[in-house]
Each structure stands twice: as C-alpha cells, then as structure tokens.
Structure 1
Amino acid sequence: MKLTDFSFDLPQNLIAQYPPEQRGQSRLMVLDRAQRSRSHHRMTDLPSLLEPGDLLVFNNSKVRKARIYGIGAGGSRVEFLLLKRRDHQTWTVMAQRTKRRRFGTRYAFADELEAEITGEEGELRLLRFDRPIDDAWLDRHGHIPLPPYIRRDDTPADSDRYQTVYAAVPGSAAAPTAGLHFTEEILARLTSRGIESAFVTLHVGLGTFLPVRSETIEDHRMHEENYSIDEETAAKIEKAKAEKRRVIAVGTTGVRTLESAWDSAAGELRRGEGATSIFIYPGYTFKLADALFTNFHTPESTLLMLVSAFAGRDFILDSYREAAETGYRFFSYGDAMLIV
C-alpha cells in the first residue's frame, strides 16, 4: 500500500491547540464495523454505550517532562527530547536539527548540568550527562512534550491535561492520548455499570509517533517500545476472552501491547516486561482486541494505519471526512472515536 492511501485534507482550525475546557466533555463518534454505520455522542455517554461485562484496557504510562533545552558553545538554545534512559547518565534523544548534533559536542543545562553527544543512532543521538538526572530534575526544569502540531509553548495547565487521570508509571515521551478523555467520574460510572478495567504499561516513544517516510508502507520499520503486563491484568483479560466478553483497548498503544503479548495458541497473555515493534496496517488480523477507543489521528501516520486495519481504510477515511464536515476536533487534544 502507498503512503498517500492514508492522506486526507484537514482544515487547520480543526487541529485542537488546547484541551476542552473540562476533561471528559469531548464529542464521541461511534463506528459500528458490522453495520458500517456512524453515530454521534458525547464522552459522558460512554458508560451507556458499553455493555456490562466489557473489559476496558488502559495504558497507565505517565508522561515525563521530557523536553529539555541546552545551550551550545556558541550560545544557541537547542531542544532535546528524552526518549529512553540507557544507563544512569546516558539517554537516547531526539535533537533539534539533528545533523548539527555531532559526536563530542557539549551542552549546558539548568543546575550547572552538562552533557555531551556520545553516539549516533540514525536520526537519534546518545546524550551523556555529567551526573544522573531523574524525574525530580525533569519536573523542575523539563517541559511537557506537546506534539509539533500544537503550535504553542506548554503551560502549567498542560502538566495536568496532557496526562491521564490514572497515569502511574513514568516513562513516556508523549501521552497515550485516548485516555485523556476519561475522568474519575466517568471511570466510576463505568464500574457501577459492571464494566471492568485493567491496566497495561507501554511507554510511548518513537514507535508511536515517528512519521512514515517510505512511499510503500510495508517498507516502514517501527522503533521498539517497552511494555509491561502484571498478573492481575493478564488474568482479567484471559478470563474475559474465555467468557467471550469484549476486550476494548483504550488507545493504539493498548492495542499494540495486547496484540504483541497475546499467545493465540495458548490463549494466554505473556506476563512481565517485553518490547514491541509491531506495525499494524490493513491486512493485519487482530488476535485480542474486540473494540477500540481512540482519537482522530494525523494523516499518513502509523496510528491512522492501525485504525484503518481495525475498521477498514475506506470506512475510516469516510468517517474522518464526516468528522471534519461536522466540526470534530482532531489529534491529541481533540475528540474521540469508539470502534465496535
């Protein structure tokens, strides 16, 4: 398939620059794959749209303040995005104007911290600090890593709104944004209706948001992302599958975790830590996820390819066109979609 098969036109004014005034107030489009039908709701309707016995699987990864700024030898301010800790002092990073960030270049950061480029990994760099940095340092000096289509600096409000209410395990360089729609009240209403919840952890990195640059999508290779699944979650999912109850993934990261860890032959989910570079696009046969709660994704992205695999490319693109015509908000801070 061609990359252009996943293009669509989107007016710039529909790209949400801020979250809704109140969390949980977004619009919700529901896609029925069997009927090839669409209906329009609000996020607050979700508990009534699901069935008792459904199991929602959330990604509880927490976003780090992973965007930091260093000063180079000439006084220039350079942006780095911390992707993965390699050891106590070294990180894999995405660097502004990558080709200029050469081996041996040094940068000064807050608190008299210094770092040096010590290696190159394609488009990425290894940045070694002269002493360890932790999440406490990042909370003081880092910035929320808002995606580039949000054309503004982060604000104190983003520290809350670009984070799910159930975030628990620090490690992501971007939010698992489908979960941003859920409030404590909505979660409580889901529970009271007999809808179960379970939590996996996948730390969002380049595998999720790096653009596809190959004209033929089959040539694209996903970067590896780390995940973990505990015993309680694995047991809940296995029980739901055995009882033929729906497993509903909240977000594309949840789908990728479940599909990577599911052993179809044994009917079991692998416990513990793992890594995935799974690339899901049309033609993929889903093994575990029965429904998907997600956002509206960027053109030509691996996320759009995944939902196209789940619901059909033409159906998804038709739904996106209708969403644009009726004023839905798109991308991380935008509205939501439930595919059943």
Structure 2
Amino acid sequence: MKKSDFNFDLPTELIAQSPLPQRSASRLLLLDVPVRTWQDRMFRELPSFLRKNDLLVFNDTRVLPARLYGHKPSGGAVEILIERVTGTHDAIVQLGVSKKPRPGTAIILADGSQATVQGREESFFRLRFESPEPLERLLMRLGEMPLPPYISRHADASDLERYQTVYAREPGAVAAPTAGLHFDEGLLTQIRDKGVHFGYVTLHVGAGTFQPVRTDDLAHHQMHREWLNVGAGLVDQIHRTRRAGGRVIAVGTTVVRALESATVDSVLRPFAGETQIFIFPGYRITSIDGLITNFHLPQSTLLMLVSALAGREYILGAYEHAVKQRYRFFSYGDAMLIFPQGAT
C-alpha cells in the first residue's frame, strides 16, 4: 500500500487548539463496521454502548514535561524535545537548533546546568544531562508540557492537567495517549457501576509518533521505538473477559500496539520491552473487540492502524463525514468508537 492512499482534506480550523471545558463533553462518532454505518453521538453516552463484563484497557503512561529550552556556549538558542528517557541522566531527543551540534557539544539549560551531546541516533540525538538530580525530576522543575506540533501555541498551566489522563501513573511518555483524555472521574464511575472492568498497559508514547511517513511504499517504513509493559495480570483479565462473553475494548491506538506486540500466533502473553510494530491494512488485529480513538493526521501511521481494523475506504468515508459535521480533530479533538464485529 501507499502513503498517499491515506490522504484526506482537513480544514485547519478543525484542528483543536485547546481542550473543551469538560473532558467528557467531546463528540463521539460510533462506527458499526459490519453494517457500514456511523452515528453522531456524545462521549458522555459511552456507558450505553458498553455491556457488563466488557473490559476497557487503558494506557496508564504519564506524560513528562519533556520540552526544555537552553543555549549553546556561543549563545545560539536550543530547543530540546525528549523522545524517550533511556537512563537516569540520559535521553534520546529532538533538537531545535540552527546548526546540528557535534558530539561533545554542551547545551546550557535555564538553571545553568548542562547537557552534552553524545552522538546521533538516526534523526535524533543522544544527550546526557549533567545535573545531579535524576532527569525526570529535572523535567518536572524546568520542563514544559510537549504539546503536539499541530497545536500552534505554547503550553500553559492548564495543559499540565489536561494533556494528561486522569488515570496516568507511570511517568515516561512525551506525548499523551489522547483517546484517554475524554474520561473524567464521573464517567469512569458510571462505566464501573455498569459492571465494566478496567485493565491497564503501559506504553510510553514517544515524540516519534508525530514523525511523518517518509516513504510512499509502506513496506519500506520503519517505526520508531517505544517501551511497553503488558503484565500477567492484564493477560489473565483478558482471558477471563473472553470466557465470560465480554469484549476487550482498547482505549487508544497505543493500547492496540501494546497488545499486538505481546501477541504471538494469536496468543496474548505477558511482555515488557521495546516495540517497533507497524500496523496497516493487511495486518490482522486479534487482541481487541473494539477501539476508542481520536481522529488522526492524514497519511499517519495511526490512521493506517485504524484502517487495518475497520477498512481503509470505510474509515476515510467516516473521516469525510466528520469533516462535514465539523468534528474537532487530533489530540484535543473528538473521538470515534469502532466495533469491528458489530456494535450489538
């Protein structure tokens, strides 16, 4: 397949620049794949589409304030965006700088501490932070929430809360698992009271999730690495859910990537480690029965994953409908609920 097969026209005014006042006030496009229909609903209606013994699987990663600002000793400004933390004082990063630095180059941070360029890793750089405190603590003190590149403003204090799920607990991501941003405590309580169970994976979303596909032939695309953990407890939950006749519903494409990375020959097993899994049409997703997801960028790997689940033409038709109905797109936008085997 070709990257160009996943293009669609999106007016820039539909790209959500800020969250709604209430998380669950988003709109929800309900996709019933077998009958090829969709319905315009509200996210707060989600409990009515769930059944007792269903299992919602969330990604409990926590977003780090992963954008830092500094300067070279010569005075040139440097913007650092953490891609992933690789050690107590080490990270793979993107650098916004006028001239790409060589190994050994120092970057002076806002508090006077220093980071040193260790080398290159494809389009990224390896940095070592010389501060005596652990990197995660340094980021909490100096960092800014890393809003996606299509949000044309700097992060403010409200983003510290809103670009984070209410159930986030494992720090390590530098981009939010955005399907989870629609859930507030009240909605979670309603869902739990209906007899729906909750399970969790951890997948630390990297800034590479926003990197474009640079080759038109998808067979030649290589995904960025992300660290994940699918625990034995969740695997047992999923097996119990299936035995009880419940459905496994992933909250976000990161959950799908985690579960599929832990699936071998259609059997889900505990797994912790890195993944570069690339899911696009032709790949058969076996780990889930439903998916909650936001609307994704044209020609993105996330749009390709959703198309693998529900069919490219059907998904692009649903996106065309969403554009006509003025849905809000991307991280702070609205959501879709997809049932590949049917909504009832």
TM-score by length of 2: 0.95
In the TM superposition, what are the counterparts of 1:173-322 in structure 2 within 5 Å? 173-206=174-207, 208-264=209-265, 267-271=267-271, 273-322=272-321
Secondary structure class of the residue paired with 2:25: coil
Q: Which residue of 1 aligns with 2:110?
A: 110
Q: Which residue of 2 aligns with 1:80?
A: 80
Indicate conservation of the 8 Å contact 1:93/1:127, yes or no.
Answer: yes
The RMSD of aligned alpha carbons is 1.5
Q: Which residue of 1 aligns with 2:342?
A: none
Q: Any unmatched runs of 5+ in structure 2?
A: 340-344
Q: Distance in 1 between matches of 2:338 and 2:98?
A: 38
Identity level (%): 47
Note the C-alpha offset of 1:328. Answer: 0.2
Give the partner amino acid of 1:324.
V
Q: Distance in 2 between matches of 1:89 and 1:36?
A: 50
Give the partner amino acid of 2:327.
Y
Note the C-alpha offset of 1:75. Answer: 1.7
- Give deviations 1:295-316, integer Å, cap 9, x for gaps: 0000010000000111111111
Q: Which residue of 2 aligns with 1:134?
A: 135
- Give deviations 1:29-71, integer Å, cap 9, x for gaps: 0000111000011111000111222111000000000111111
Note the C-alpha offset of 1:239. Answer: 1.3
Note the C-alpha offset of 1:264. Answer: 4.0
Q: Distance in 1 between matches of 2:90 and 2:275?
A: 22
Q: Distance in 2 between matches of 1:98 and 1:258?
A: 40
Q: Any unmatched runs of 5+ in structure 1?
A: none
Indicate conservation of the 8 Å contact 2:30/2:336, yes or no.
Answer: yes
TM-score by length of 1: 0.96
Indicate conservation of the 8 Å contact 1:238/1:269, yes or no.
Answer: no
In the TM superposition, what are the counterparts of 1:55-74 in structure 2 within 5 Å? 55-74=55-74
Secondary structure class of the residue paired with 2:40: strand
Give the count of matched residue pairs. 338
Deviates more, 1:74-83 or 1:42-51: 74-83
Q: Which residue of 2 aligns with 1:159?
A: 160
Give the partner amino acid of 1:19.
P
Note the C-alpha offset of 1:275. Answer: 1.8
Secondary structure class of the residue paired with 1:112: coil
Give the partner amino acid of 2:66.
A
Note the C-alpha offset of 1:99. Answer: 5.7
Asked if residue 26 in structure 1 is aligned to residue 26 in structure 2, the reply is yes
Q: Distance in 2 between matches of 1:98 and 1:246?
A: 51
Q: Distance in 1 between matches of 2:135 and 2:89?
A: 10
Secondary structure class of the residue paired with 2:146: coil
Q: Distance in 2 between matches of 1:222 and 1:92?
A: 15
Secondary structure class of the residue paired with 1:189: helix
Secondary structure class of the residue paired with 1:279: coil
Indicate conservation of the 8 Å contact 1:206/1:223, yes or no.
Answer: no
- Give deviations 1:226-276, integer Å, cap 9, x for gaps: 1112332221012123334211111000000011112446x44225x2221
Moved over 4 A (4+): none
Rate the CA distance shift 1:319–1:151 in 2: closer, same or farther, 3 A: same
